[in-house]
Amino acid sequence: KSLPQILLKSHYQNKFHPPPSDGFFSLQKNVDNYCEGEYDVYLLLGQSNMAGRGEMLEEDYAVIPDVYLLDSEGKPVPAAGPMNIYSSIRKTDAIQAMGPGASFAKTITEQTGRKVLLVVNARGGSSINDWRKDLVSYIKVGNSSKYTSVSYFGEALRRAQQAMQYGALKGI
């Protein structure tokens, strides 16, 4: 099985995220359709180091050629720092800063000559346990003052599925 098929199957066994109404197998059948596209898709998940807490320099805010971020609407947009700005589980905008995403994407693009679409969905202070597929956390997301329930695993998978409309999932 391909990695996307394994992720989809794993996700839909999660009691907090039921399968689509037309069933898992119709979704699985469409996984190969996701793999056609102009981007190589990479998921960047994790804690504060992936979210980015390093100092941002002026050049870090510049658009990176041939590198895109999946925005909060599920669309590719030109990538510029900070990379975790569209994360659906991030903390406030003010603490998003430099992480490994930009350097990683520049290197991949240079080596492959292909456009890269990053799905950066990280949350500082999260533990590996928080990323279990059967766990729902209650967190403040972004600049909101309200708490919401969210599955970090479920959000990673949801956003990966959005990105796979534009290209093949190449790595996590």
Do 76 and 70 meet the contact criterion of CB atoms below 8 Å apart? yes
- Phi/psi for 15 (5° steps) reads -65, -20
Structure tokens at 108: 């991949």
Alpha helices in 30-167, H assignment, sequence order: 31-34, 48-51, 101-112, 152-163
> CA–CA distance from 150 to each of 3, 90, 141, 142, 157 (Å)?
23, 11, 9, 13, 12
For residues 130 and 103, give the distance between their C-alpha atoms in angstroms, rounded to a whole number.
26
For residues 160 and 154, give the distance between their C-alpha atoms in angstroms, rounded to a whole number.
10
pLDDT in tens, the chain (172 residues): 444 444 444 444 443 344 444 433 333 344 444 445 799 999 998 877 777 777 778 887 789 999 999 999 999 999 988 887 888 877 666 667 677 889 999 999 999 999 999 998 878 778 788 778 887 877 776 677 777 778 888 889 999 999 999 999 999 9
Question: So what's the pLDDT on residue 31?
Answer: 43
For residues 34 and 128, give the distance between their C-alpha atoms in angstroms, rounded to a whole number.
28
Structure tokens at 113: 């000559």
Q: Which amino acid is at 129?
A: N
Do 118 and 69 meet the contact criterion of CB atoms below 8 Å apart? yes
Closest CA to 135 of 150, 146, 120, 123: 150
Question: So what's the pLDDT on residue 11?
Answer: 42
For residues 107 and 149, give the distance between their C-alpha atoms in angstroms, rounded to a whole number.
36
Question: So what's the pLDDT on residue 25?
Answer: 37
Question: So what's the pLDDT on residue 171?
Answer: 92
Question: So what's the pLDDT on residue 97?
Answer: 67
